[in-house]
Amino acid sequence: MPLVSGLDVIQECTARGLVAGAFNTTNIETTMGIVDAIEKVGVPTFIQVAPTNAALSGFEYIYDMVSRRLAETRVPVALHLDHGKSLGAVEDALAADFTSIMIDASEEPYDENVRISSIAREMTPADLALEAELGSIGGKEDDHGPEVELSTDPSQVEGFVTAVRPDMLAVSVGNVHGYSPTAAIDFDLLAQVRAASSVPLVVHGGSGLPPEQLGRLHEFGVVKVNVASDLRNAMIRAFGEAYAANPQEVSLIRVSTQAVAAISDVVERRIRMLNPSAA
Ligand code: 13P
């Protein structure tokens, strides 16, 4: 089916009590691995790319690749801009027909975050989803880290959501991008944020969180969980292992096919961890 709006993914997941995985792609192998897993599990999903990872190809190429691979798929999937750190990135993703947008002005002071995120709201058509971030998530997204790392302040949530009107809110509640040994959800803080938010929540940093924590997020109003490092590492590991086993290896297609299978396996396991009742 054609790409659906992020609003449709949110709506269907909310109605079915599911949490959507949001998996970062960079290339054809990652895209194929993600979609193979989605087809097996049947849970609505976001496929996403941050500007840092679209640097190689551009948003149009990512759109073409993802929409072409999804044409024969029956599971609803939205193409999401991850960590749009500028209004220019939002504009570029919309021009490339992305169906879901993140504005991330979370490193700015509160008022500036509200101002920039509100402009992104105005730019984003009402039938597409907008994610905004309050509190700044630590760790590194690929090799880019935030200058500020700050937990979401529950007392700011209601005002932020009222002012910006996002469709979902990314929160910083102990989650960290990448493989951090200290990543752990503070469920008390998450519960306070949830109580203050009229929109569903997004948890970034899905690779480093323990499975039992991922399996509880649906109880706390979380509708979307981002996973990137795990997929990237699966692909790099497939190539690393092939080279280590045979430095003369030249079958790119064999190793690429192994990488797709490894990525698919990671995605399937993450979707099942997020949705223990659907497993
Ligand atoms: P991980 O790399 O920890 O999975 O986090 C990904 C992410 O949150 C992308 O926005």
Q: In 10 A of CB 152, how many CB atoms?
A: 27
Cα 47 to Cα 9, 61, 193, distances in angstroms: 11, 14, 25
User: Mean pLDDT across the chain, nearest whole number?
Assistant: 95
Catalytic residue, chosen from 36, 82, 92, 230, is 82
Within-domain flag for 52: yes
Which tens digit of pLDDT belongs to each residue from 218-233?
A: 999 999 999 999 999 9
Report the number of distinct structural domains present in the chain.
1
Site to probe by mutation for ligand 1, drawn from 19, 24, 81, 201 as the one with most ligand atoms within 8 Å of Cβ, is: 24
Is the pTM higher than 0.85? The answer reads yes
Q: Per the domain annotation, does 223 fall within a domain?
A: yes
* Secondary structure letter of residue 79 according to DSSP: E
Separation of alpha carbons 82 and 279, rounded Å: 26
- The response to whether residue 206 sits with its C-beta less than 6 Å from ligand 1 reads yes
pLDDT above 90 as % of the chain: 91
Out of 144, 177, 232, 269, give the residue to mutate to test ligand 1, the one with the largest number of ligand atoms within 8 Å of its CB: 177
Q: What is the CATH number of the domain that holds 194?
A: 3.20.20.70
| CA–CA distance, 212 with 189 (Å, rounded to integer) | 17
Assigned domain for 258 exists: no
Alpha-carbon gap, residue 53 to 58, rounded angstroms: 9
User: What residue numbers bound the domain in which 65 lies?
Assistant: 6-229+264-278
pLDDT tens digits, 163-200:
999 999 999 999 999 988 889 999 999 999 999 999 99
Our answer to whether residue 82 is catalytic in this structure is: yes
Instruction: Identify whether the C-beta of residue 22 lies closer than 8 Å to the C-beta of residue 46.
Output: yes
In a domain, 161, yes or no: yes
